[in-house]
Amino acid sequence: MNLIAQLPVLPIIIPIVAAPITLLLPKGRVPHLWACLFSWLTFAACIALFAEVSSTGPISYHLGDWAPPIGIEYYIDLANALVLLLVSGIAAVVFPYAYRSVQLEVDERQTPLFYGALLICMTGLLGVTITGDAFNVFVFLEISSLSGYALIAMGARRDRRALTAAFNYLVMGTIGATFFVIGLGLLYQATGTLNMADLADRLIGQDNRMVEAGFAFILVGMGLKLAMFPMHLWLPNAYTYAPSAVTAFMAATATKVAVYVIIRFIFSVFNFDFAFIGAAFTYVLLPLGLAGMFVASFVALFQEDVKRMLAYSSVAQIGYMLLGLSFATVEGLTATLVHIFNHALMKGALFMAVGCVVLRAGSHSIYAFAGLSKRMPVTTWAFLISGLSLIGVPLTVGFISKWYLLQAAFEAGHWYAGFLIVASSLIALAYVGRVAEVMLLREPAEDGKYAMPKEEAPLSMLIPMWVLVAANIYFGVRTDLTGGIAQRAAETLMSMAGGAP
Amino acid sequence: MTAFFEALLANPAVILTVGAFVIFFLPRHLACAWCLLVTAFSAIKLYTLGLGEYGALHVFGEQLTTVRVDPLSRIFAVVFHIAIVLNVIYAWGQRDKAQNFAMLAYPAACLGGVLAGDLITLFFWWEMAAITSVFLVWAPGTRVTYLAGMRYLAIQILSGVLLLGGVALTYRETGSFAFDMMGLRDADGAVKISALVMFLAFGIKSAFPLLHNWVQDAYPKSTLTGAIILSIFTTKLAVYSLARAFPGTNELIYIGVVMTLFPIFFALIENDLRKVLCYSINNQVGFMVCAIGLGTINGAAGYAFGNIIFEGLLFMALGAAMHRTGTSKATELGGLYKTMPVTMALCIVGALSISAFPGTLGFVTKGLIIDGAGEAHLFWVWLGLLFASAGVLEHAGIKIPYFTFFAHDSGQRPKDAPLPMMIAMGIAAALCLGLGIYPDPLYALLPDQAAIADYHPYTAYHLIEQLQLLLWAVLAFAILILVKWYPAEVPSTNLDTDWFYRVPGRALMSWAAGASRATWIALWGIFSGRVQALMARVYSVHGPEGEMARSWPIGFMALWTAILLALVLVISFIA
């Protein structure tokens, strides 16, 4: 039993063992260092796993040596290896970033709880991604969600509205999870198995009401988790009132993992032989994706609160992902996978920049950003560069996403979609431009509520933030990493689902 | 990663761009010297590169050629460098960091575009040019210029978006990003959508008729030096792109002829001399566009080269007068020759050159185009171009120096232009005359050496044709002065009553100009009214208090979930 053979389980084992121990540590610095260490170890394990998968192909790992379909199977191919890398990578930069931000925003007595919950949340997300067992997805989803509710509620020290936001999210998230598990139940009723690969085999030819209803419940349940328009209403408040580090982490990972689950179910469990898959693409994902792109962007345009603006922008960006998915082509799926990765980079960096402003100005209102370039130039530029990335300016990852998406739209013959993608990017230009104008051209407030010292955020926050900003540019230039991997992953998924290659 | 940096360093445009950013960290008084130094570096880089393709980059699994120096891009790159040097000298001592930045970064972007060997690189620099140039429009820092800058930026970005669309479509069709001859039609003669979109993108930047308003809107509102820089680069980048992608496209001939003709009418009744020169840009670019349509790339490239120098010279001379008097209105200038004799002389050199007097740069470059039209046996086109040439003489060749330095005496007695301006204008004038008399170095740079081999500018035919044209135009002007049909107090339009268009008369021209202006204002009014109403409606729904942005109670969210579930169930069942 060597370590390499056990590699697939390490990304789960490492944090899940570390998390409870965090609770026992004394409050203050120690839990943070502990959690940091283990987030990095997890990241290292994920890198190793990714390298392994990309060189040797998909890995199937049997937990406790119980062979599937009886035992739980971890199944890792390129698609989820990429998402694993993303989740653990974002965690690896958010954990170091969190310390100063959490010091301000979270009660000190809660620090062991906070870092413990954040580790558990990460474990849950990694688990959802890595597992090849449908019920296991539900279990890990609940692990990540429950810790997520707690994390959001911890923002209550600064703003009591965090409590209602967390409560709403709790109710909605539970409805989503319940729908999901109802869907699984129906599928289990139809097939008698919960292993994804086994499900896929036994579902063949089973085009009956039970399977159809099961699909509907799974799609809507996951749609709620990923904040598909119009089920996004829990998201803006949750992201706005959560502590900055939590927002940065969840915005970059949680919804992405839910998108991944939808992809996994559509392509690896169901397949294109089911007529409802095509119908769901055409009548659900495509129109809702487009609606989300515009409605949420317009809402973002008028927000007075930068964090809230970015939250709505996330809903819009999820619209892009659903749009790419709905084309049901390799190009479309590639675009979605690329955008999952890229959007995490830009939103992570943007929310981190907001966190830096909150640290110094004590507010994430747009008025707190007035003249920021004179007070916090390093943070300002991080925000600007990631903002450009969000718009889709060349040399940033945002451009790569838009490019793949446009290609996919043209390929699928959806001309109008190509036009709408560009149009909604222009709205993004407007809402990012609004903040940029305030940051660069307005004079900073000299006194009153939003006055702030001329002091940059501490290095412990700046360095992780700039790592993400640099990633925005690096992956904007080196596209073979994201684009190439995503394309290979998309081809594999597509061949699983029996669609045109 | 090293390959990436090598590719960047091979690019003169990148050198200039990096240099531009350094300006922000330099003491203000060193900025101009630094600009010259960087430009010299860039020029040396360009020279040492020589003809060929460099800066290969792998992006999107495609090979990009970020630098391509071939005879066509070389002549543009060379004249861009000359123009940067002239601008920097002219603006010597300018302290505004934003303007100094734009003075280098904006030409750099256009240079990058000219050197781009593929469409992705072209798009990148295309957008960079839009973004960096807007700082020049904004430079005066008033609300009017801010709004003008926003309008300018919107149109430039629109052009960029169209270009990107064209790039994507072309890639779909051909599977390649190569920036080469594409032509507007395919083998069957049907218009290609991809090419058409790109054609429009280029058309906006080169200010095709009806797409031209941004030039007159934005350029005259910039600062003294800003207007000069703006007048040079954007449109020439577009001309280059057209010459690269659409040589010999018939439509361009007619677009070009219209472009040369219509600004003349506007220019003649315009009182603001800077605006007159902006119309003159349209007219001059029209000659180049026409040349591209005729397939005489030599004519387009050569004339672009010449135009950058002599149009720049006119802008600089007018700028010097403005610098001393604070106005560019024809009614407020005049009589400056008494105290600004050197500027006056240099301005006249520019005016002679733009009117293509023999012995000037204009003559040796414009001949290439007119000849092309004649050889193509397109009589009406040839006539249109001749007519336009006479128009150039009236509105740029005579109107600019006459109303600035002569005409009625405005009573102003300013000092002559400051030394740096004088030096820049002097160099430009020297180039106008030097290359006009001895054009061989310029001809050696032209892209199509085979065509130029047996071309001689100073043949009897060329001389007679041109002199006849010019002398008649001058005679008309002189008679008007002598018989005093020419009230100096209303120095706006009487120049147009020359032998060419006596028949339509001034009334018709004023009417035409007024009507198109009124139509434009009315259309814009309707459009902006609609946009405002639309935004108000969007705000009422999506604004912070709108339905879309409210924090809804949980029950409502759950209801939505139920509705969606029902919807998905129905869809799954009936699918």
- Is A333 a residue whose pLDDT tops 90? yes
Interface test with B, best of A161, A283, A415, A482 (most B CBs within 10 A): A283
Say if B480 is an interface residue toward chain A (CB within 8 Å): no
Q: Dump pLDDT digits (tens) for A152-184.
A: 999 998 888 999 999 999 999 999 999 999 999
Is B424 found in the same domain as B533? no
Do residue B488 and residue B465 come from a single domain? yes
Q: What is the pLDDT of residue A293?
A: 92
B165 within domain boundaries: no
**Same domain assignment for residues B558 and B531:** no
- C-alpha angle A168-A173-A175 in degrees, rounded to nearest 5: 100
Residue B371 covered by a domain = yes
Give, as one character, the DSSP assignment of residue B415.
P
- Cross-chain residue pair B544–A304, CB shorter than 8 Å: yes
**Is A470 an 8 Å CB contact of chain B?**
no
Q: Residues B534, B575: one domain? A: no
> CB neighbours of B282 closer than 8 A, spacing ≥ 6?
B207, B212, B215, B259, B262, B263
| B492 and B388 together in one domain | yes
Which residues in chain B are closer than 8 Å to A411, comparing Cβ atoms? 172
Mean of pLDDT over chain A: 91
Residue B172 contacts A, CB cutoff 8 Å: yes
Residues 355-394 of A with CB under 8 A from B: 393-394
Residue B379 sits in the same domain as residue B522: no
User: How far B120 CA lies from chain A's nearest CA (Å)?
Assistant: 9
Is residue B568 less than 8 Å (CB to CB) from chain A? yes
Is residue A402 a part of any domain in this protein?
yes
Work out the widest C-alpha separation in chain B, in whole angstroms. Answer: 92
Phi-psi region at B26: left, alpha or beta (left = phi > 0; alpha = psi -120 to 50):
beta
Q: Under DSSP, is residue B320 helix (H, G, I), strand (E, B) or coil? A: helix
The pairing of beta strand B52-59 with beta strand A73-76? unpaired
- How distant is the alpha carbon of residue A275 from its chain centre? 29
Which residue from B532, B533, B543 is spatially nearest to A299, judged by alpha carbons? Answer: B543
Q: Taking a C-beta distance cutoff of 8 angstroms, is the pair A293, A394 a contact?
A: no
Work out the number of other CB atoms within 10 angstroms of the CB of residue B261: 18
- Cβ contact A15:A120 at 8 Å: yes
Mean predicted confidence (pLDDT) in A429-456? 84
Tell me the residue range of the domain where B522 lies. Answer: 503-542
- Name which of A231, A403, A478 is nearest B564 (Cβ-Cβ): A231
Q: Chain B within 8 Å of A401 (Cβ-Cβ)?
A: no
Sign of the Cα pseudo-torsion (B435, B436, B440, B443, in order): positive
Question: What count of other Cβ atoms lies within 10 Å of the Cβ of residue B464?
Answer: 10
Please report, for residues A109, A457, B131, B570, the alpha-carbon distance to residue A114 in angstroms, rounded to integers and kept in the order given. 9, 22, 44, 43
| Signed CA dihedral, A253, A258, A262, A265: sign only | positive
The model's pLDDT over A116-163, given as tens digits with 9 standing for 90+, comes to 999 999 999 999 999 999 999 999 999 999 999 999 999 998 888 999
pLDDT of residue B516: 66
B533 and B426 in a single domain? The answer is: no
Q: Is the CB of residue A168 less than 8 Å away from at least one CB of chain B?
A: yes
Chain A positions in Cβ-Cβ contact with residue B565 (cut-off 8 Å): 179, 216-217, 220
Do residues A245 and A99 make contact, with C-beta atoms less than 8 angstroms apart? no
Residue B117 three-state SS: coil
Q: Are B76 and B236 within 8 A, CB to CB? A: yes
Q: Which residues contact B315 (CB under 8 A, 6 or more apart)?
A: B227, B228, B231, B274, B277
- In order of A400, A431, A488, B535, B546, the CA distances from B540 in angstroms are 34, 17, 45, 9, 5
CA nearest A378: which of A440, A462, A320? Answer: A462
For the record, the structure tokens of B150 come out as: 């926003």
Mutate to test the interface with B, among A299, A313, A391, A399 (most CBs of B within 10 A): A299
Taking CB atoms within 8 Å and a gap of at least 24, the contacts of A162-169 are A162/A241, A162/A242, A164/A237, A165/A234, A165/A237, A165/A238, A165/A240, A165/A241, A165/A242, A166/A238, A166/A241, A166/A242, A168/A234, A168/A237, A168/A238, A168/B554, A168/B557, A169/A234, A169/A237, A169/A238
Task: Return the number of other C-beta atoms located less than 10 Å from residue B327's C-beta.
Answer: 16
pLDDT of the residue at A472? 93
What pLDDT, in 10s, does the model give residues A44-75? 999 999 999 988 889 999 988 888 888 899 99
Q: Over 60: is that where the pLDDT of A1 sits?
A: no
Using a CB-CB distance cutoff of 8 angstroms, which residues of chain B are in contact with residue A287? none
Beta strands A59-62 and A73-76 are: antiparallel
Rounding to the nearest 10 degrees, give the CA dihedral for residues A391, A393, A395, A396. Answer: 0
Cβ A213–B569 below 8 Å, yes or no?
Answer: yes
Closest by alpha carbon to B557, among A174, A185, A283? A174
CA distance B247 to B181: 7
Q: What pTM value is reported for the model? A: 0.65
Residues of A in contact with B557 (CB under 8 A): 168, 171-172, 231, 233-234
Cβ–Cβ below 8 Å for B571 and A283: yes
Same domain for B442 and B350: yes
Residuewise pLDDT in 10s, chain B (575 residues): 566 777 777 889 999 999 998 888 888 888 889 999 999 999 999 999 888 888 888 766 678 888 999 999 999 999 999 999 999 999 988 888 888 899 999 999 999 999 999 998 999 899 999 989 988 888 888 888 888 888 888 888 889 888 988 888 888 888 888 888 888 888 777 888 888 899 999 999 998 887 888 888 888 888 888 899 999 999 999 999 999 999 988 889 989 998 988 888 777 777 888 888 888 999 999 999 999 998 888 889 999 999 999 999 999 999 998 888 888 887 788 888 888 899 999 999 999 999 888 889 988 888 888 777 777 777 788 788 877 887 788 777 888 888 888 877 777 788 888 899 999 999 999 999 999 889 888 998 888 888 777 788 888 877 887 787 777 777 766 776 676 654 343 444 333 323 333 344 455 656 666 676 777 777 777 777 777 777 777 777 777 777 777 777 778 888 888 888 998 888 888 87
pLDDT confidence bin for A397, thresholds 50/70/90: very high
Residues B538 and B560 in one domain: no
Judge contact between B421 and B90, C-beta under 8 A.
Answer: yes
Residue B210, exposed/middle/buried by CB under 10 A (0-12, 13-18, 19+)?
A: exposed
Q: Pseudo-torsion of CA B471, B476, B477, B479, nearest 10°?
A: 120
How many domains are contained in chain A?
1
For B541, the closest chain A residue by CA position comes to A299
- Residue B261 placed within a domain: yes
Residue A175 sits at the chain B interface (C-beta within 8 Å): yes
Residue A204 lies in a domain: no
Helices marked H in B340-494: 341-354, 361-375, 379-392, 399-405, 419-437, 440-445, 449-452, 460-482
Across the interface, do A230 and B560 touch by the CB < 8 Å criterion?
A: yes
Instruction: Return d(Cα B132, Cα B149) in angstroms, integer.
Output: 11
pLDDT given for residue B56 in this prediction: 83
Q: Is B440 exposed, middle or buried (0-12, 13-18, 19+ CB in 10 A)?
A: exposed
Residues 6+ apart with CB under 8 A from B109: B13, B17, B125, B126, B128, B129, B132, B133
Q: Which of B547, B572, B573, B574 to mutate to test the interface with A (most CBs of A within 10 A)?
A: B572
Burial class (CB in 10 A: 0-12, 13-18, 19+), B512: middle
Q: Which residues of B touch A407 (CB under 8 A)?
A: 168, 171-172
Give A299-356 as a DSSP string. Answer: HHHT-SBHHHHHHHHHHHHHHHHHHHHHT-SHHHHHHHHHHHHHHHHHHHHHHHHHHH
Q: Which of B58, B561, B573 sits opposite A224 (nearest CB)?
A: B561
Give percent of chain B with pLDDT exceeding 70. 92
Q: What's at B419, amino acid-wise?
A: L
A172 touches B at CB < 8 Å: yes
d(C-alpha B274, C-alpha B224), whole Å: 10
The whole-angstrom separation of Cα B430 and Cα B427 is 5
Within-domain flag for B4 = no
pLDDT above 90 for A247: yes
Terminus-to-terminus CA distance in chain B, angstroms? Answer: 50
* CA gap B283, B389 in Å, rounded: 9
Query: Number of A:B CB contacts under 8 A?
Result: 123
| Residue A222 lies inside a defined structural domain of this protein | no
Taking only residues 405 to 424 of chain A, the set having a beta carbon closer than 8 angstroms to any beta carbon of chain B reads 406-407, 410-411, 418, 422
Residues of A in contact with B21 (CB under 8 A): none
Do the domain assignments include residue A130?
A: no
Distance CA B224, CA B206 (A): 22
Contact A162/B at CB under 8 A: no
Residue B13 resides in a domain: no
Residue at B105 is within a domain:
no
Pair of tokens at residue A242: 């959560």
Has residue B564 been placed in a domain? yes
- HSE of B335, CA atoms in CB hemisphere, 13 A: 11
- Find, in chain A, the residue whose alpha carbon is nearest to that of B57: A477
B51, B277 Cβ separation under 8 angstroms: no
d(CA B114, CA B234): 11
Nearest-CB residue to A216 (from B61, B556, B565): B565
- Alpha-carbon gap: A304 to the closest alpha carbon of chain B (Å): 8
Q: Looking at CA atoms only, how far is residue B82 from chain A in angstroms?
A: 29
Sign of CA dihedral A302, A306, A312, A314: positive
Q: What pLDDT, on a 0 to 100 scale, did the predictor assign at position B31?
A: 87
A476 touches chain B (CB under 8 A): no
Q: How far apart are CA B439 and CA B538, in angstroms?
A: 60
pLDDT per position as a tens digit, B174-221:
888 888 888 888 877 788 888 889 999 999 999 888 788 888 888 888
> Nearest 5 degrees, angle CA A360-CA A365-CA A368?
45
| Token code pair at residue B358 | 């023999």
**Cα–chain center distance at A21:** 26
| Residue among A403, A440, A478 with most chain B CBs within 10 A, to mutate | A403
A328: containing domain: 287-501
Smallest CA–CA distance from B571 into chain A, residue: A279
Q: Is residue B160 part of a domain?
A: no
Count of other CB atoms within 10 angstroms of residue B493 = 18
Co-location of B537 and B555 in the same domain: no
Point out which residues pair with B63 in neighbouring strands.
B58
Residues in chain A: 501
Question: What residues of chain A lie within 8 A of the CB of B537, using their CB?
Answer: none
Predicted confidence at residue B502, as pLDDT, reads 36
Q: Are B561 and A172 inside 8 Å of each other by CB?
A: yes
Contact A298 B538 (CB under 8 A): yes
Same domain, residue pair B477 and B532:
no
Residues B324 and B383 grouped into a single domain: yes
Which of B361, B368, B382 has its CA nearest to residue B454? B368
Give the minimum alpha-carbon distance from A283 to chain B in angstroms, rounded to a whole number.
8
Residue A127, in any domain of the structure:
no
Among B11, B3, B228, which Cα is nearest to B108's? B11
Cα–Cα dist B89/B63, whole Å? 39
* Per-residue b or e along B25-49, where b marks 16 or more CB atoms closer than 10 Å to that residue's CB: eeeeeebbebbeebbeebbebbeeb
Which of 345-384 (B) contact A at CB < 8 A?
none
Mutate to test the interface with B, among A149, A218, A231, A240 (most CBs of B within 10 A): A231
Whether A327 is in a domain gets the answer: yes
The total of structural domains in chain B comes to 3
Say how far apart CA B72 and CA B298 lie, in whole Å.
9
- Does residue A427 lie in a domain region? yes
- Residue of chain B whose Cα is closest to the Cα of A418: B165
